[in-house]
Amino acid sequence: MSLSASKPYRPRIGLTTYYQEAAWGVWTANAALLPGTYVDAVVAAGGTPVLLPPIGSDPSIIDLLDGLIIAGGTDVGPEHYGARQHALTFAQPHRDSHDLSLTRAAMAADLPLFSICRGAQILNVALGGSLIQHVPDVLPDSRYQPAPGVFGTVEFTTTPGSICASLLGPRATAPCYHHQALDRVAAELHVTAKAADGTIEAVETTSGGWVLGVQFHPEQGPEDLRLFEGFIEAARAYSRTRTERTINVDHHI
């Protein structure tokens, strides 16, 4: 038996990135970057990370992937959901366009999609939903951002029968850093986790398939990989199904 045959397939997981000024060694320049916690979580859960900068990659990349993660980051521009810009909203138009197009392409291809924080907001907006631009405006006492660069903790309940419930159980806690949140939920999504104050913590597609958007930050809890492991298993199954479809097509040529 070959070495490759003795190990489970590590599905190829696309992860969206930032593209902005960064510093390393003696250099300061524009760079494609992503917090290492995302990469670490994908690798630990059994996947192969493929970084996707918001310039130069287009929706056709979906054909080469087994799963897609839309990562956290800057605010989503309110022009994408017909709102005026809040004084504390800071968007990156090039990243919005990139992440929205990849999200729609993944949905069209039934590709397993895991959308985290900003990613959940992108998912909702891509399908016609809207956002709360600044959570403290509606929840003045919220502690979702305890201090700049400090993650809070959110406790939430899940909906029976959902991906969230199957992987996390009826109640869970997770690291969070909410500044924006989902407001009007797109018709193609349904809420599958909520905090006690009503903040939407997870949404999933109404049409089936593995699509999960979470407002919290599971990549910041390396001791709990349940969501990443569920996502990687879905990506592995997607790869098997795609291979079977290709074989069947070849047999009919």
Q: Could you give the residue numbers annotated as active site?
A: 117, 217, 219
Q: Provide the CB-side half-sphere exposure for 34 (13 A, CA).
A: 25
Rounded distance between C-alpha atoms, residue 105 and residue 89, angstroms = 26
Whether the Cβ atoms of residue 114 and residue 231 lie closer than 8 Å to each other: yes
Residue 73 DSSP one-character state: -
Contact between residue 177 and residue 161 where contact means Cβ atoms under 8 Å apart:
no
Q: Which residues face 49 on adjacent strands?
A: 13
Q: Show the tokens assigned to 221.
A: 């809890």
Half-sphere exposure of 155 (CA within 13 A, CB side): 2
Query: What sign for the dihedral angle of Cα 74, 118, 55, 97?
Result: negative
